[in-house]
Amino acid sequence: MLWKDQYELGVPLIDAQHKELFRRVEAFLQVLRSGVSWDDKALQLNDTLEFMKGYVVEHFRDEEEYQESIGYPGYEAHKQIHNNMVDYVLEVSKQYEESNKNEDLMQQFGGRLLAWLINHVAAEDQRIANYAREKGVSGNDK
Amino acid sequence: MINNLYNVFFDATHNVFQLMLNISDISAQPEEEFKCDDEVDISVGIQGDLSGEVIYRFPVPTSLNIVNIMSGMQFDSVDAFVTSAVSEMANIISGNVLTALSDNDVKCDILPPVLCKLDDDKDYELKTSCCINTAIGEICLLIRLNRAS
Please report the pLDDT score of residue B119 as a whole number.
79
What CATH number does domain A35-135 carry, 3.30.450.80, 3.40.50.150, 1.20.120.50, 1.10.620.20? 1.20.120.50
Task: Point out the residue among A33, A108, A115 whose CB comes nearest to the CB of B70.
Answer: A115
CB atoms within 10 A of CB A104: 13
Calculate the average pLDDT of chain A.
90
Rounded distance, CA A110 to CA B87, Å? 12
What DSSP assignment string belongs to A87-104?
Answer: HHHHHHHHHHHHTTS-HH
Q: Searching chain B, which residue's CA lies closest to the CA of residue A106?
A: B81
B70–A29 CB contact, under 8 Å: no
Domain count for chain B, please give it: 1
Q: Has residue B45 got a pLDDT over 70?
A: yes
Helices (DSSP H) in chain B: which residue ranges?
Answer: 5-21, 60-71, 80-102
Please report the pLDDT score of residue B1 as a whole number.
64
Rounded distance, CA B131 to CA B117, Å? 18
Tens digit of each residue's pLDDT (9 = 90 or more) over B127-148: 999 999 999 999 999 999 999 8
Range of the domain at B87: 2-147
Q: Searching chain A, which residue's CA lies closest to the CA of residue B66?
A: A115
Tens digit of each residue's pLDDT (9 = 90 or more) over A5-64: 999 998 898 999 999 999 999 999 999 999 899 988 888 888 878 888 888 889 999 999
Q: Specify the CATH number for the domain of residue B112.
A: 3.40.1550.10
Q: Which of A6, A89, A119, A124 to mutate to test the interface with B (most CBs of B within 10 A)?
A: A119
Taking the CA of residue A32 and the nearest CA in chain B, the distance in Å comes to 10
Contacts of B70 in chain A (CB under 8 A): 114-115, 118
SS3 call for B36: coil
Tens digit of each residue's pLDDT (9 = 90 or more) over B71-129: 999 999 999 999 999 999 999 999 999 999 999 999 999 999 999 988 777 889 999 99
